[in-house]
């Protein structure tokens, strides 16, 4: 599948909101909920504006994963960038109808190529023990499993642990 990642813009708000509403149940089956306020139009708008402000300051970068028709397939983010340590934290989600098609793998590959320009030395990521697909995407893009948290938490009636990964930008050393 031919995809691109594009930095989040103000004009993306409406289509991104529709994407999130359409995929809410699917996402909440795999990751903790963002809460009901996130899915209210006014709350989403405020959140969208705050993400753009954060991106403008260089603390985080938010990208939309799009196809050739400019349709949103997912999101991929590098957040909470520590300027001193040159470390950022990865997050991504792909819409339900686009899973299993290599979208996340390709989007992460594209993001890692932009990291060279951002002078990031390390990217940390975490997923849950039940999200095998996400673990595979990380490993296929050169992330190393660093730890499975011993602390369990309950999500959707299932006891889970977080699985932590790290990617090292070898071109920065």
Residues spanned by the domain of 144: 3-172
CB-CB contact of 131 with 101 (8 Å):
no
Q: What is the 3-state secondary structure (H, E, C) of 5-37?
A: EEECCHHHHHHHHHHHHHHHHHHHHHCCCCCHH
pLDDT at position 63 is 97
**Domain count along the chain:** 1
CB-CB contact of 37 with 48 (8 Å):
no
pLDDT at position 32 is 65
pLDDT at position 95 is 94
Distance CA 77, CA 6 (A): 11
CB-CB contact of 121 with 85 (8 Å):
yes
Backbone φ and ψ of 120, nearest 5°: -100, 130
How many of the other CB atoms lie within 10 Å of CB of 153?
12
The overall longest dimension of the chain from CA atoms, in Å, is 45
Distance CA 138, CA 160 (A): 18
- Which CATH number is 45's domain given? 3.40.630.30
Instruction: Give me the tens of pLDDT residue by residue for the chain, a chain 173 residues long.
Output: 799 999 999 999 999 999 999 999 888 777 666 777 788 888 899 999 999 999 999 889 999 999 999 999 999 999 999 989 999 999 999 999 999 999 999 999 999 998 877 889 999 999 999 889 999 999 999 999 999 999 988 877 889 899 999 999 987 65
Distance CA 171, CA 116 (A): 7
């Amino acid at each position: 599948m031919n995809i691109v990642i594009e930095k989040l813009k103000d004009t993306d708000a409406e289509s991104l909101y529709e994407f999130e509403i359409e995929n809410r149940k699917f996402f909440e089956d795999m990751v903790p909920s963002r809460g009901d306020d996130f899915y209210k139009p006014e709350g989403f708008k405020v959140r969208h504006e705050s993400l753009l402000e954060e991106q403008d300051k260089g603390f985080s970068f938010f990208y939309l994963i799009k196809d050739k028709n400019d349709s949103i397939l997912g999101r991929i983010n590098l957040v909470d960038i520590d300027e001193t340590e040159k470390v950022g934290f990865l997050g991504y989600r792909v819409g339900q109808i686009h899973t299993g098609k290599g979208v996340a793998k390709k989007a992460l590959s594209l993001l890692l190529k932009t990291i060279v320009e951002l002078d990031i030395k390390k990217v940390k990521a975490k997923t849950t023990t039940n999200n095998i697909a996400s673990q595979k995407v990380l490993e296929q893009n050169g992330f190393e499993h660093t730890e499975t948290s011993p602390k369990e938490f309950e999500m959707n009636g299932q006891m889970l642990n977080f699985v932590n990964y790290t990617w090292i930008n070898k071109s920065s050393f």
